[in-house]
C-alpha cells in the first residue's frame, strides 16, 4: 500500500499533465457559460412613445333652453 510520501509525486504528475489542465479549463469555461445562460435576463424593449399633438379641447356647449341659467336674459332682481 502507498503511503503519503509516495503518493505526492503521482498527484503532481497527474495535475501537471497537459491533458488534465486543458480538460479542467474547458470544464470551467463550459460551467461558467451554463451559469451565464441560466442567469441571463433579456432587457425589455424600450418603445419610444410617439409624440402626438393633443387635439384641442372641445368648445363648451352653449345652453339653449328655457330654463337658461345665469345668462338666460331678463332683468330679475
Mean pLDDT for the chain overall = 82
Scanning the structure block, which residue is given the C-alpha cell 451559469?
Answer: 35
DSSP for residue 72: S
pLDDT tens, position by position, 62-74:
766 665 556 555 5
pTM of the model: 0.49
pLDDT tens, position by position, 11-38:
999 999 999 999 999 999 999 999 999 9
Residue 27 is placed in which grid cell?
Answer: 470544464
Q: Which residue has the higher pLDDT, 21 or 6?
A: 21
Identify the pLDDT of residue 72: 57
- Considering only CA atoms, which of 50, 49, 69 is closest in space to residue 61? 69
**Rounded Cα distance, 29 and 33, in Å:** 6
Amino acid at each position: 500500500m502507498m503511503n503519503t510520501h509516495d503518493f505526492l509525486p503521482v498527484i503532481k504528475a497527474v495535475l501537471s499533465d497537459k491533458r488534465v489542465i486543458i480538460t479542467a479549463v474547458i470544464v470551467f469555461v463550459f460551467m461558467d457559460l451554463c451559469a451565464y445562460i441560466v442567469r441571463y435576463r433579456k432587457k425589455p424593449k424600450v418603445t419610444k412613445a410617439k409624440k402626438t399633438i393633443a387635439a384641442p379641447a372641445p368648445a363648451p356647449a352653449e345652453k339653449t333652453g328655457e330654463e337658461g341659467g345665469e345668462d338666460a336674459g331678463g332683468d330679475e332682481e
